[in-house]
């Protein structure tokens, strides 16, 4: 039997870390009603913009950008987001902070 509570907690902690590294505030986190193997996380970024993510079973983060705002899908724009920030994009590198390298 699968431990859904444990899996939820792990994904919740991963989402908290995803937001913490970016200095974002968590708004909500829940399982996806349409696909129980996925989760939906919402947070508020440093510019007070509400951001919504689908977290897949494999741990991929896909941001919902609103209807008609992109080329993915007919009515919706979904943009994959890297879980780890890339230093070359002038972003925070958590490994560098912890190790000092």
Question: Is the pLDDT confidence value at 44 over 90?
Answer: yes
pLDDT digits (tens, 9 = 90+) for 57-83: 888 999 988 776 555 555 567 888 887
CA 24 – CA 45 distance, rounded (Å):
5
Full-model pTM: 0.71
pLDDT given at position 7: 87
Residues 6+ apart with CB under 8 A from 64: 52, 53, 54, 76, 77, 78
């Amino acid at each position: 039997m699968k431990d859904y509570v444990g899996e939820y907690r792990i994904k919740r902690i991963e989402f908290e870390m995803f937001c913490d590294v970016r200095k974002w505030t968590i708004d909500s986190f829940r399982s996806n009603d349409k696909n129980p193997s996925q989760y939906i996380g919402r947070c508020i970024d440093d510019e007070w913009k509400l951001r919504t993510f689908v977290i897949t079973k494999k741990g991929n983060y896909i941001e919902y950008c609103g209807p008609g705002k992109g080329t993915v899908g007919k009515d919706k724009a979904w943009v994959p987001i890297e879980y780890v920030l890339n230093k070359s994009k002038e972003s925070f590198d958590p490994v560098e902070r912890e190790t000092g390298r």
